[in-house]
Amino acid sequence: MSQITEQQILEALKSVRDPDRDSDIVSLSMISGLVIKDGNVGFAIEVDPQRGPKMEPLRKAAEDVVHALPGVLSVTAVLTAHSAAGSAPPPQQAAAAAPPRQSPPQAAGAQRQLVPGVGAIVAVASGKGGVGKSTTAANLSLALSRIGLKVGLLDADIYGPSQPRMLGISGRPSSPDGKILKPMENFGIKCMSMGFLVAEDTPMIWRGPMVQSALQQMLRDVEWGELDVLIVDMPPGTGDAQLTMAQQVPLAGAIIVSTPQDIALLDARKGLNMFRKVDVPVLGIIENMSVFICPNCGHESHIFSHGGAKKEAESLGMDFLGEMPLHIDIRVTSDEGRPIVVSAPDGEHAKRYIDIAKSVWERLSADKAGARQSPTIVMQ
């Protein structure tokens, strides 16, 4: 199979013309973020915000001409709401086209067609990096599977995807029709990640709207099938990607992961408050790296303090889902692609994750049945 080149793709895209600007999308500098890996092609098409809703035919046309090239296995094109070069709208038009700060509550329901067949979408989030959020998301997904549920895992961290390594999955997703991707799978978990489409050492130099579009397409253009739960490993912080998931995806709830120390709890509170502002119920808080137990002598050390997340949950009137220790086995098994829930399924750590999974599923089931009110969050 011949290897496709960037120049070949750009030449093909020159045949796609912007219907309103009498030129092709390459000459108009509308193509950006072009990524090629093993026959899989991805790129963004930058359009004026006010024209975005009517540009779907152009996006599909761009995908089709690239997919027709020899050596191309799949194509993912995303529309991004940027003003094209030389055509910035007047300030009053830009203000009119700008999205509202907060989507109305019914917006989430309007987007439900993004993921048909998925019972509940749950975000695993943190206010800052380095608290073990991705490790928690992977083990929680596996624990939910262990209790008999059909589970998927979406790695929403476009800039730093880690789930392919954590789940021990290599290769690339297939696409029989060049448009819909089949998720990768291991340990009974379906997974999709930008890490399957680009090399580990390839930086994703994408603007915020490009990331937003990629996230929407990883939900909409992936054959997830029938799932009880789709866990979303969110990127750390409260930026564009987080708001996209919180405002435009029908999240059944969010789980906040934090370490016990004050600075992590401060950032966790910001993440929690973000979900509160967009009417996403927070299912509870997990305290990660709660205590270090010396593997040689058994001595307990509270390296990151202890109990802070539990106290925070109590002060906010929220559920505390449990605590996980700082243990080398959890780290090593995640790095090796066999998380602790599958590598030591009868161990103490796996049992803790399973207990958390049961609590999460009970809360989701109660919410679905209308038997449980979302907790009132009181900011002090």
Residues 6+ apart with CB under 8 A from 380: 315
Return the CATH class of domain 6-86. Answer: alpha beta
Mean pLDDT (whole number) for 56-65: 90
Q: Please state, for a pLDDT cut of 70, what percent of the chain lies above it.
A: 74
The crossing angle, in degrees rounded to 10, of helices 262-277 and 240-248 is 40
**What is the bridge-based pairing of β-strands 300-301 and 292-293?**
antiparallel
Look at residues 268, 211, 282, 277 and name the one whose alpha carbon lies nearest to residue 244.
211
Rounded Cα distance, 349 and 205, in Å: 37
Give whole-number Cα distances, 97 to 49, 243, 349, in Å: 6, 18, 50
Amino acid in position 53: P
Q: H/E/C letters for each residue in 66-125?
A: HHCCCCCCEEEEEEEECCCCCCCCCHHHHHHHCCCCCCCCHHHHHCHHHCCCEEEEEEEE
Most confident of 70-79, 110-119, 232-241: 70-79
Tokens 């009110």 locate to 373
Extract the tokens encoding 327.
């243990």
pLDDT tens profile 179-231: 788 999 999 999 999 888 776 666 666 666 677 777 877 888 899 999 999 99
Confidence of residue 242 (pLDDT cuts 50, 70, 90): confident
Q: What is the distance in angstroms between the CA of the first residue and the CA of the last residue of the chain?
A: 62
Extract the tokens encoding 298.
């058994």
> What is the structure's pLDDT at 99?
35
Rounded Cα distance, 304 and 289, in Å: 7
* Residue range 106-367, CATH number: 3.40.50.300
Confidence check: pLDDT of 128 > 90: no
Rounded Cα distance, 335 and 136, in Å: 13
Considering only 33-42, 64-73, 343-352, which range has the smallest mean pLDDT? 33-42
Rounded Cα distance, 194 and 160, in Å: 9
pLDDT tens profile 295-328: 677 666 665 555 656 777 777 777 889 888 888 8
> What is the structure's pLDDT at 307?
62
Report whether 309 contacts 286 (CB < 8 A).
yes
Please provide residue 136's backbone torsions phi and psi, each rounded to the nearest 5 degrees: -65, -45
The better pLDDT of the pair 122, 379 is held by: 122
Q: How far is CA 35 from the centre of its chain?
A: 19
Look at residues 172, 243, 255, 173 and name the one whose alpha carbon lies nearest to residue 211.
243
**Torsion from C-alpha of 328, 333, 335, 339, nearest 10 degrees:** -130
Amino acid in position 31: I
Confidence of residue 101 (pLDDT cuts 50, 70, 90): very low
Beta bridge partner(s), residue 130: none
Domain range list for the chain = 6-86, 106-367
pLDDT tens profile 362-376: 999 887 666 444 444
- State the DSSP string of 249-288: S-EEEEEEEE-SSHHHHHHHHHHHHHHHHTTPPEEEEEE-
Taking the whole predicted model, whether its pTM rises above 0.85 is answered as no
Q: Rg (Cα) of the chain, in Å, rounded?
A: 22
> What is the structure's pLDDT at 337?
94
Give whole-number Cα distances, 147 to 142, 256, 344, 351, 354, in Å: 9, 21, 15, 11, 8
The better pLDDT of the pair 87, 299 is held by: 299
Confidence of residue 104 (pLDDT cuts 50, 70, 90): very low
> What is the structure's pLDDT at 347?
94
Helix, strand, coil % over all residues of the chain, rounded to 5: 35, 20, 40
> What is the structure's pLDDT at 94?
32
Q: Mapping DSSP to helix (H, G, I), strand (E, B) and coil, where does residue 375 land?
A: coil
Report whether 328 contacts 303 (CB < 8 A).
no
